Amino acid sequence: MRYLTAILALLASLSGFAADTARPQFTFTAIPDQNEAELVRRFQQVADYLSGELGLEVRYVPVKSYPAAITAFRGNQVQLAWFGGLSGVQARRAVPGSEAIAQGYEDQFFKTYFIAHESTGIAPGEGLPEAIAGRTFTFGSKGSTSGRLMPEFHIREAFGRAPGEVFDRVGFSGDHSRTIALVQSGAYEVGAVNYAVWDKAVARGEVDTDRVSVIWTTPAYADYQWTVRGDIDQQFGAGFKARLTRALLELDNEEILGSFPRSRFVPADNSVYSAIEETATEIGLLDDF
């Protein structure tokens, strides 16, 4: 009888193990807009929080580029992503039915800073300074809203020409932290950067404001958001999207929110980003989507 009991217990254990391994794993990613160590620290905390709230394993999958984040979302390697405004539009076009479900409170009023090396002598102004013309200029990532889309929109609006015709040389740094470093070093005279990344770096003492400074701030626009695949309930069960949305909106961990940095998450939907989609279409950034 003891042997029979032991066998039954073993079978029950194996059955439970099989059920656990068959359970789908929920994965998410984020655009790599800062250095990798900072992103891993932030989003591992998010993964741990969501695991507890949703009652299943949640895994953060880092990627090397903005297009890689969109590709992972399109291929269902991830079901949720922290996108910028432009990359979110691109991802939702790639996966019909996908939705923006939450954004940072501050993301409703996002801004881009134009920054310049002290050697340029460019003074801050109410409008985009004409003196940036003929300089060397770096965007962030090619797929960045704050580091490429909105800066290019304002450059075209101010000068009536494409950036390649306005500047002596145009580059793409790859992320906002790198943009700051390149302009501070003088490798580029002027650049465009996410205001939140700049403000956080300045607060940490990571920027030499005697060598690089803000010369213009764009008008506000909507930017970052959490976007989820349209088939999420089919994959994880009816009501999963609602539970996920609620978990994000109710996140009140100050350490996690401070790492973004955001004060809280608020509801979002696709219509919030219609202006970004229109702007991206106008300057040809959605041609491949």
Contact 119, 188 (CB under 8 A): no
Looking up residue 191, the CATH number of its domain turns out to be 3.40.190.10
| Of the candidates 119, 186, 188, 120, the residue with the CA atom closest to the CA atom of residue 151 | 188
- Among 168, 200, 217, the domain-final residue is 217
Contact 143, 152 (CB under 8 A): no
The yes-or-no verdict on residue 24 having pLDDT over 80 is no
- With respect to residue 29, please indicate whether it lies within any of the assigned structural domains: yes
- Do 160 and 26 belong to one domain? no
Domains of the chain: total: 2
pLDDT digits (tens, 9 = 90+) for 225-239: 999 999 999 999 999
pLDDT digits (tens, 9 = 90+) for 274-285: 989 988 898 888
pLDDT digits (tens, 9 = 90+) for 206-261: 999 999 999 999 999 999 999 999 999 999 999 999 999 999 999 999 999 999 98
Task: Say whether the peptide bond before residue 24 is cis (omega within 30 degrees of 0).
Answer: no
Q: Can you tell me which residue has the tokens 């297009």?
A: 67
Q: What is the pLDDT of residue 272?
A: 92
237-to-23, 24, 124, 210, 224 alpha-carbon distances in Å: 11, 10, 53, 55, 27
Q: Can you tell me which residue has the tokens 């809280």?
A: 264
Q: What is the pLDDT of residue 275?
A: 85
- Do 31 and 161 belong to one domain? no
Distance CA 285, CA 289 (A): 9
The dihedral of CA 189, 194, 196, 200: what is its sign? negative
- Do 27 and 71 belong to one domain? yes
- Do 117 and 211 belong to one domain? yes
The dihedral of CA 226, 229, 235, 240: what is its sign? positive
101-to-69, 149, 219, 237, 241 alpha-carbon distances in Å: 17, 22, 24, 17, 9
pLDDT digits (tens, 9 = 90+) for 135-185: 999 999 998 999 999 999 999 999 999 999 999 999 999 999 999 999 999
- With respect to residue 286, please indicate whether it lies within any of the assigned structural domains: no
Domain enclosing residue 184, as ranges: 111-217
Q: What is the pLDDT of residue 4?
A: 44
- Do 28 and 103 belong to one domain? yes
Q: Can you tell me which residue has the tokens 């989507």?
A: 289
Q: What is the pLDDT of residue 2?
A: 46
- Do 244 and 177 belong to one domain? no
Mean pLDDT of 40-54: 97
